[in-house]
């Protein structure tokens, strides 16, 4: 079963108590690589530059098994960069340099028409609010149009409202596009902290799930960190799941790993409950190691 993931892949500069290194990452790319390592057919759609660093990134993703046929090259832009700093408890903070990111203009590239035509035939489409944040309005409309076309063809759409305030001109703009994505999705993967920040109000996991179900999602998993998660299915009572308690070394990419485990389970026709177990197990392994994408499959 084919999964298309749209997003932005970036160079990652990670500080670890004095040991520095350049890697790569990005919320949707993290999920794509985890899913590929689980044996799923994953096509990643983005844009990078034509520079040697971009070519090296593409080669690395290909070596992981990601379908890189839909990674486009922008003639005069390059990948964005972000830096992660970890505190003593493994919690991270970010700095970004992405104004000239090639992914911002991926939908303006002529080759994108062929990418969209292939993506319409996929079994599932996944993207995040960060994907929408980096795009201009025209690109956002094209991505949501793809979601609608894929659903008409019998595919499923999964969406994560991963919120980064500094990527948006206003909270109301982010709320507008997130709601548009929710209306066009089948599977919702929000995080409680993101949703409360996005809507500038305190909400329980039940409140969040009701908002997503009302928007049209039939299947919602609200990630809640140390509180575990909540599963809500349209027409059924919500169910809480306790977390796997492990020592946090690096919280980077925990939600991305959970999404991979969960979506991988659903692509494999597992139940929602079994898919949550896969998501929690993968997220637990990721936060026990450095980096959102550990060097080897876990």
Task: Tell me whether residue 247 is in a domain.
Answer: yes
User: Does residue 293 belong to any structural domain of this protein?
Assistant: no
Q: Which of 20, 207, 256, 295 is catalytic?
A: 256
* Interval 1-16: pLDDT, tens: 689 999 998 766 655 4
147 in any annotated domain: yes
Question: Is residue 282 over pLDDT 90?
Answer: yes
Cα gap 289→101, rounded to integer Å:
28
SS (H, E, C) the chain: CEEEEECCCEEEEEEECCEEEEEEECHHHHHHHHHHHCCCEEEEEEEECCCHHHHHHHHHHHHHCCECCCEEECCCCECCEEEEEECCCCCEEEEEECCCEHHHHHHHCCCHHHHHHHHCCCCEEEEEHHHHHHCCHHHHHHHHHHHHHHHHCCCEEEEECCCCHHHCCCHHHHHHHHHHHHHCCCEECCEHHHHHHHHCCCCCHHHHHHHHHHHCCCEEEEECHHHCEEEEECCCCCEEECCCCCCCCCCCCHHHHHHHHHHHHHHCCCCHHHHHHHHHHHHHHHHCCCCCCCCCCC
Q: What mean pLDDT do residues 100-109 have?
A: 94
Give the model's pLDDT for residue 20.
45
Residue 18 has pLDDT above 50, yes or no: no
CATH classification at residue 29:
3.40.1190.20
58, 74 Cβ separation under 8 angstroms: no
| Higher pLDDT, residue 252 or 164 | 164
Banded model confidence at residue 293, pLDDT cuts 50, 70, 90:
confident
pLDDT (average), residues 174-178:
98
Burial of 295 (0-12, 13-18, 19+ CB in 10 A): exposed
Backbone angles phi, psi at 72, to 5 degrees: -90, 155
Q: What percent of the chain has pLDDT over 70?
A: 85
Task: Count the domains in the chain.
Answer: 1
pTM for the predicted model, two decimal places = 0.91
Residues 224-256, buried b or exposed e (16+ Cβ, 10 A)? beeebbbbbbeeeeeeebeeeeeebbbbbbbbb
CA distance 45 to 112: 9
Mean pLDDT of the chain: 89
> Tens of pLDDT along 229-273?
999 999 999 999 998 766 776 667 889 999 999 999 999 999 999
Looking at the domain assignment, is residue 109 inside a domain?
A: yes
> Once rounded to an integer, what is the mean pLDDT over residues 132-154?
98
Q: Is there a catalytic annotation at residue 87? A: no
Q: What six digits make up the tokens of 43?
A: 């096509």
Model pLDDT for residues 54-104, shown as the tens digit of each residue = 998 999 999 999 999 999 999 999 887 766 665 655 555 555 566 779 999
The model's confidence at residue 192, banded by pLDDT at 50, 70 and 90, is: very high
Q: Are 159 and 186 in contact (CB under 8 A)?
A: no
Task: Compute the average pLDDT of residues 275-298.
Answer: 79
Looking at the domain assignment, is residue 8 inside a domain? yes
Domain contains 128: yes
Residue 233 inside a domain? The answer is yes
Lowest mean pLDDT among 18-32, 49-63, 157-171: 18-32
Residue 73: Cβ-neighbour burial (10 angstroms; 0-12, 13-18, 19+): middle
Domain that holds residue 14: 2-287
Q: Is 51 a domain residue?
A: yes
The closest alpha carbon to 160, from 132, 141, 140, 137, belongs to 132
Q: For the segment 25-39, what is each residue's pLDDT rounded down to a tens digit?
A: 789 999 999 999 999
Dist CA 150 CA 174 (whole Å): 23
**Mean pLDDT on 186-212:** 97
């Amino acid at each position: 079963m084919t999964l298309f993931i749209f997003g932005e892949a970036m160079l990652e500069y990670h500080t670890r108590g004095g040991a520095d290194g350049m890697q790569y990452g990005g919320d949707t790319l993290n999920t794509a690589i985890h899913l590929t390592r689980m044996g799923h057919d994953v096509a990643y759609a983005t844009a990078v530059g034509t520079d040697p660093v971009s070519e090296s990134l593409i080669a690395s993703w290909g070596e992981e098994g990601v379908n890189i046929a839909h990674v486009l090259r922008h003639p005069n832009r390059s990948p964005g960069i972000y830096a992660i700093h970890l505190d003593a408890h493994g919690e991270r903070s970010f700095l970004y340099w992405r104004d000239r990111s090639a992914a911002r203009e991926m939908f303006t590239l002529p080759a994108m028409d062929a990418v969209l035509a292939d993506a319409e035939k996929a079994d599932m489409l996944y993207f995040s609010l960060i994907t929408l944040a980096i795009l201009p309005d025209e690109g956002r409309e094209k991505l949501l149009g793809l979601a609608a076309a894929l659903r008409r063809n019998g595919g499923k759409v999964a969406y994560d409202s991963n919120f980064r305030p500094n990527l948006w001109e206003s909270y109301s703009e982010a709320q507008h596009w997130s709601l548009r994505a929710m209306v066009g999705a089948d599977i919702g993967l929000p995080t409680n902290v993101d949703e409360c920040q996005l809507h500038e109000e305190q909400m329980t996991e039940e409140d969040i799930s009701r908002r997503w179900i009302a928007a049209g999602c039939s299947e919602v998993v609200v990630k809640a960190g140390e509180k575990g998660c909540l599963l809500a299915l349209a027409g059924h009572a919500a169910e809480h799941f306790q977390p796997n308690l492990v020592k946090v070394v690096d919280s980077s990419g925990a939600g991305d790993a959970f999404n991979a485990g969960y979506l991988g389970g659903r692509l494999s026709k597992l139940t929602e409950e079994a898919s949550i177990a896969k998501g929690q197990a993968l997220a637990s392994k990721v936060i026990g190691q450095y980096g959102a994408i550990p060097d080897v499959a876990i």
